[in-house]
Amino acid sequence: MRDFEYEAPVSLADAVGLLAKSNGNARPLAGGTDLIDHVRTGRLTTDLIVDLKKIPELMALELNDDGLRLGAAVPCYQIYGHQGIVDNYSAITDSSHIIGGMQIQNRASVGGNLANAGAAADSTPALIALEATVVIAGPDGTREVAVEDFCTGPGQNVLEPGEIIVELRFPARPAHSGSHYRRFIPRNEMDIAVVGVGASVVLDASGENFVSARIGLGAVAAKPFLCQEACDALAGQPVNDETIKKAADAAKSVVHPITDMRGTEEFRIHVTGVLTERVIKQAVERARG
């Protein structure tokens, strides 16, 4: 590990100031499970790490009738330990359970996982499915970005020098809605997704028809993305195997995966269809209560 300076500001303004004056050389630390490893291995270099865990805005966790506010540095264990989030935003609790292992989840954060902009990040497809908005603060003030527009490529995102993610905001969940996230990995745990799928569905009062849906896909393109084709295949259609199969086929038709040591392109396309079907069905079960 190379030497670097460490700061732990207690205000958002101080954190932004430290990052802004570094000309892009400082690195914000939310969870640190990726950052510390990247610095240790030389994948990233930095002269300053700015720890964000002491900033109140980044540790906010608030659920009310208007929706959910999730601070960027809130650790994963607090997310899946919150019964209101488990009940209403279950896709993000699904992904929080499998980011690293139990020890890592005491430090790792969804905000950090998103900021890392990994194509196979577990939280991002779930965030896309749940229609999250990313709140960003920087030298020029605060701005908001839809989560599906946040990642721009492998390891790349829309953050400008001096900017950090403050929180994620989720709209209130409608009646008769449910969500789920699932991934395929070669090992039982502590691995990177070969394919990851997040789904959120809204059913009508009978529970027999889809009103709307959002499907987020990960590890099958240069960045996680909203699969609008699969969403359109479900909206307004009856809840049955045929409809769900059409959505899965739509998802398979738009992915562009790579071949690597974890799986071939053909395998990833196949798994995309299988997981999409399974995740939608689980989301429907949750929507029906």
Note if the pTM is more than 0.85: yes
Output the pLDDT for position 31: 79
- 5-51 CATH fold: 3.30.43
Q: 1 pLDDT exceeds 90?
A: no
Output the pLDDT for position 189: 67
pLDDT class for 92, splitting at 50, 70, 90? very high
Q: List the Cα angle 185/183/38 in 5-degree steps.
A: 65
Sequence spans of domains, the chain: 5-51, 60-171, 177-288
Measured between its terminal Cα atoms, the distance across the chain in Å is 50
Which residues make Cβ contacts (< 8 Å) with residue 46, sequence separation at least 6?
4, 25, 26, 27, 39
Are 5-51 and 177-288 equal in CATH topology? no
pLDDT class for 245, splitting at 50, 70, 90? very high
pLDDT class for 232, splitting at 50, 70, 90? very high
Percent of the chain with pLDDT over 70: 99
Output the pLDDT for position 193: 95
Output the pLDDT for position 24: 76
CATH class of 60-171: alpha beta
Q: What is the pLDDT of residues 180-226, one digit of tens each?
A: 999 999 877 668 999 999 999 999 999 999 999 999 999 999 999 99
Give dist(CA 106, CA 94) in Å, integer: 16
Q: Which of 17-31, 105-119, 194-208, 257-271 has the lowest mean pLDDT?
A: 17-31
- 177-288 CATH fold: Enolase-like; domain 1 (3.30.390)
pLDDT class for 39, splitting at 50, 70, 90? confident
Percent of the chain with pLDDT over 90: 84
Tell me the three state secondary structure of residue 49.
Answer: strand
Output the pLDDT for position 110: 96
Please give the mean pLDDT across all residues of the chain: 95
Output the pLDDT for position 139: 95
Instruction: Give, in order, the Cα–Cα distances in Å from 35 to each of 45, 71, 117, 155, 166.
Output: 10, 18, 12, 12, 18
Sheet with 26-29, strands from edge to edge, namely 5-7, 48-51, 26-29
